[in-house]
Amino acid sequence: MEQLSHWIDGKHVKGSGRSADVYNPATGEVQAQVPLATKSELDAAVASAEKAQPAWGATNPQRRARVMMEFVRLINRDMEKLAEALSREHGKTIPDAKGDVQRGLEVIEFCIGAPHLLKGEFTDSAGPGIDMYSMKQPLGVVAGITPFNFPAMIPLWKMGPALSCGNAFILKPSERDPSVPLMLAELLKEAGLPDGILQVVNGDKEVVDAILDNETVQAVGFVGSTPIAAYIYERGCANGKRVQCFGGAKNHMIIMPDADMDKAADALVGAGYGAAGERCMAVSVAVPVGEETADRLIEKLVPRIEKLKVGPYTGGDDVDYGPVVTAAAKENIARLVQSGIDAGAELVVDGRDFSLQGYEDGFFVGPHLFDRVTPDMDIYRKEIFGPVLSTVRAGSYEEALGLAMDHEYGNGTAIFTRDGDAARDFANRVNVGMVGINVPIPVPLAYHTFGGWKKSGFGDLNQHGTDAFKFYTRTKTVTSRWPSGIKDGGEFNFKAMD
């Protein structure tokens, strides 16, 4: 069995205490063990990062950008290897795994522009003989706590801007699929990142609390569930840190009567069931407006969902999605599905009896489609994080809009329509952070920012884009005045400068 490690001072380091099992979700078998760091191990990693950071922070932004340029080349070189390792531990298909890496890579490409993004402002002659300018300086040692569902993308979203700004970075990846973050650390070293600037410390709550309580760590970024996001935000802020946390989601897609129903159905199947629904931007609630629209939508959805192929990532390119990440995740999905049935929702597509020959012990979940779900049901209120799509029928556009606005989560939403007025009104009024118009998963590109509202996001700055460079730097403003050596007649007086 493979024994994984931490990454400290540019090399793999064995853990000294507890460990956790890493599963192959397709087979249910333990394939590796990952060490769970203690507080003392975390503190040692932070101390090492603190020692290394000043020299990296003093390195000019262009040279730091060159490291990112080489990092991009190396990721592209090893794309197949990274995707295979990601799929083996997470369970998602190879195309999904490559997409995971690619969306993270795009942020690293954006970070190559660090010399421009870190430029300050300058005002000439703000007063008599006075100039003013600002500088963006690194915070020092910062940290990221990242989730299992995107083991490449989210670490890259966090580490890329942090390192490009001149910080040292402590990464605490998910203990469920830690191999890809360790591989990325190796690639960064190969790209020229100095030892000690990136530390990968595996662990659970013990190491999370150690990060939040360590006085040297100046900022913490987190992606995960809302309860943990709230906990990390409160504890980190109480300790005087800059904190950004992104939590759960319940993303609604409104389908207007004039929508292209085939395109809407295709979008819902891809957005609702891709990656087994384990995406914070997955569409988990379809909101058709009007009974006729709902009937037409269900008619289009059922055959598409019933044709979905569920299997291991080794099953070929025609596999639509793989297993969920753990047995506990599978059990939680089953509980919520049963709660929907008990509450009176209509289970139109029933995936409860799904079993895959030869993979009976894997964590596979068949696709589910509910109709006539109501807002008081747990399957509507809670984030399921599985291949379950709920249909809530709305009597009007205003009712559909109200569903998205009244839900406690505000990560992403979408509307499918041919009506520009309706689309514009929806985009302007809905209190959700990311909006798609005839786009089911409105994840912004790397040069815009990613972030949810309400209980989906905590903090005042989003991920990637220019917000990331603001989050990982602090601004210093300098007011400068030099004594003049010029006489009234225009002749330079050297004595005045003595």
pLDDT above 70 (res 408): yes
Number of domains forming the structure of the chain: 2
Q: Are residues 148 and 86 in the same domain?
A: yes
Q: Are residues 34 and 116 in the same domain?
A: yes
Reduced to 3 states, what is the DSSP secondary structure of residue 395? coil
Domain holding 296, by residue range, is 251-437
Assess if residue 487 is contained within a domain: no
User: CA–CA separation, 300 vs 294, rounded Å?
Assistant: 10
Judging by DSSP bridges, how do beta strands 368-371 and 346-349 pair with one another?
Answer: antiparallel
For the sheet with 130-138, list strands across it.
122-127, 130-138, 473-481
First to last CA, the chain: 74
Report the CATH number that the domain containing residue 309 is assigned in CATH.
Answer: 3.40.309.10
Q: Are residues 239 and 313 in the same domain?
A: no
Q: pLDDT, tens digit, for every residue of 254-305?
A: 999 999 999 999 999 999 999 999 999 999 999 999 999 999 999 999 999 9
Q: pLDDT, tens digit, for every residue of 157-190?
A: 999 999 999 999 999 999 999 999 999 999 999 9
- Where in 198-351 does DSSP place strands (E)? 198-200, 217-223, 242-246, 251-255, 283-288, 346-349
Assess if residue 59 is contained within a domain: yes
What mean pLDDT value characterizes the chain? 95
Cβ partners under 8 Å of residue 147, min gap 6: 154, 174, 223, 224
* Over residues 186-207, mean pLDDT: 98
Assess if residue 69 is contained within a domain: yes
Q: Are residues 239 and 262 in the same domain?
A: no
Q: Are residues 29 and 112 in the same domain?
A: yes
Assess if residue 486 is contained within a domain: no
Q: Are residues 376 and 465 in the same domain?
A: no
Where residue 454 falls (left for φ over 0; alpha for ψ -120 to 50; beta otherwise) is left
Q: Are residues 134 and 9 in the same domain?
A: yes
Report the CATH number that the domain containing residue 231 is assigned in CATH.
Answer: 3.40.605.10
Contacts of the segment 397-403: beta carbons below 8 A, 24+ positions apart: 397/254, 397/256, 397/289, 397/422, 399/289, 400/252, 400/254, 400/287, 400/289, 401/254, 401/426, 401/429, 401/430, 403/252, 403/285, 403/287, 403/375
Q: Name beta bridge partners: 143.
A: 170, 220
Assess if residue 421 is contained within a domain: yes
Q: Are residues 182 and 258 in the same domain?
A: no
User: CA–CA separation, 250 vs 437, rounded Å?
Assistant: 17
Read off the pLDDT band of 233 (50, 70, 90). very high
Active-site annotation holder among 111, 165, 245, 280 = 280
Assess if residue 315 is contained within a domain: yes
Q: Which of 408, 437, 466 is the last residue of a domain?
A: 437
Is 245 tagged catalytic?
no
Read off the pLDDT band of 38 (50, 70, 90). very high
User: Which residue is listed with tokens 């799929």?
Assistant: 87
Assess if residue 491 is contained within a domain: no
Neighbouring CB atoms inside 10 A of 237's CB total: 16
Q: Are residues 169 and 102 in the same domain?
A: yes
Q: Are residues 265 and 412 in the same domain?
A: yes
Assess if residue 394 is contained within a domain: yes
pLDDT above 70 (res 497): no
Q: Are residues 217 and 260 in the same domain?
A: no
pLDDT score of 493? 59
* Over residues 342-371, mean pLDDT: 97
Read off the pLDDT band of 483 (50, 70, 90). confident
Q: Are residues 159 and 42 in the same domain?
A: yes
Q: Of residues 426 and 491, which shows the higher confidence score?
A: 426
User: CA–CA separation, 274 vs 268, rounded Å?
Assistant: 10
Read off the pLDDT band of 484 (50, 70, 90). confident
